[in-house]
Amino acid sequence: MENETVVLLHGNSGSSKDMAVIAELLNGHYTVLNLDLPLHGANTAPVEELSIQFCKESIETFLLEQGLNRISIVGYSDGANIAAELCGSSVLQVKTCFLISPNTHYQGTVLPWRVLFHLIQGFCYLFRFSRSMKTVYQHMGMMLNYIMDSTIQRHAKAFHLYYAQNDMITVSDQLKMEEILGVKRSVIANKTHLNIVHSTELMDEIERVFEISSGPIPESLPEE
C-alpha cells in the first residue's frame, strides 16, 4: 500500500525550510511534500497578484499534475489559511487538516501589527521598481486582504486547530475560525505565533494526530 501523502505549507514570507522539523518527523511514516508557496523560497516565478486564493489554486493544480487528489495537510499561519481553502476544493479529498495559528482576516490582526504591515506595504510600493520590494509588497497584500469565506463547505475528514497563546488576532476571530471549521481550538502555552511551529508541544500533537508514536501508519483514503 502506498504511503499517505502529507502536504506541508509554510507561512507568509517564509519558506519550506520553516517546516523542515515537521517534515523530518513525518518522513518514513508518510510521503511528505514540503512546498514553497508562490514567491517564497525557491518558487520565484513571477505572479501578477499574490493571494491566498492564488496559492490555493496553484497548489491544487500542482497536486493534480502529480496525480495526487487524496492528501492530508499541515499548514502554518497563512499556509494554514491556504490549507483551509484547499479543504473546500471540489477535486481534492483531504483526510486530515492540521492548522497551526491561522489568520481569519486582516481586521482580526491587532492594531499595532495591522499598522506596521500597512506601513511596510506602503513603503515597498514606493520602491516597487525593485523586485525584492515588490515581492514584500505582494506578501503584505496576501496577509492583509484575506477574508475566509464562511459559505464554503470544507470536506476534510478531521480538522485540528492550534493557536499560540499570544497570537496576532483577537479571541473573537479565533472563535470565528472555530465556527467556520466546526472545531474547538487547542492553545499551545507560552508560545508566540512566530515560534509555535517549532514548539515541543506542537510536535507532540502532530505525533498524536498522525499516530506516529503508536506505531501503525494510518490507512490511505479508500478508493471511491
pLDDT tens digits for range 36-48: 999 999 999 989 8
**Residue 221 DSSP class:** P
What CATH number does the domain containing 13 carry? Answer: 3.40.50.1820
12 lies in a domain? yes
Band (pLDDT 50/70/90 cuts) for residue 147 is confident
CA 52 to CA 50: how far, in whole Å?
7
Band (pLDDT 50/70/90 cuts) for residue 1 is very low
139 lies in a domain? no
CA 108 to CA 201: how far, in whole Å?
25
Evaluate if residue 215 carries a pLDDT over 70: no
111 lies in a domain? no
203 lies in a domain? yes
119 lies in a domain? no
Evaluate if residue 24 carries a pLDDT over 70: yes
Host domain of residue 159: 5-105+152-209
Q: Spell out the residues 6+ positions from residue 188 whose beta carbon is closer than 8 angstroms to its own.
A: 162, 163, 164, 165, 196, 199, 201, 202, 205
The residue ranking higher by pLDDT, 87 or 177, is 87
What is residue 78's predicted lDDT score, i.e. its pLDDT?
A: 94
What is residue 213's predicted lDDT score, i.e. its pLDDT?
A: 64
The arithmetic mean of pLDDT across residues 111-131, rounded, is 91
If one counts the domains in the chain, the total is 1
The residue ranking higher by pLDDT, 60 or 109, is 60
What is residue 57's predicted lDDT score, i.e. its pLDDT?
A: 97
Which among 10, 2, 56 is positioned nearest to 33, based on CA atoms?
10
End-to-end CA, the chain: 16
The residue ranking higher by pLDDT, 98 or 224, is 98
221 lies in a domain? no
16 lies in a domain? yes
- The pTM (predicted TM-score) of the whole model is 0.91
Band (pLDDT 50/70/90 cuts) for residue 15 is very high
| DSSP class per residue in 193-204 | TTTGGG-HHHHH
Band (pLDDT 50/70/90 cuts) for residue 216 is very low
Evaluate if residue 149 carries a pLDDT over 90: no
What is residue 224's predicted lDDT score, i.e. its pLDDT?
A: 41
136 lies in a domain? no
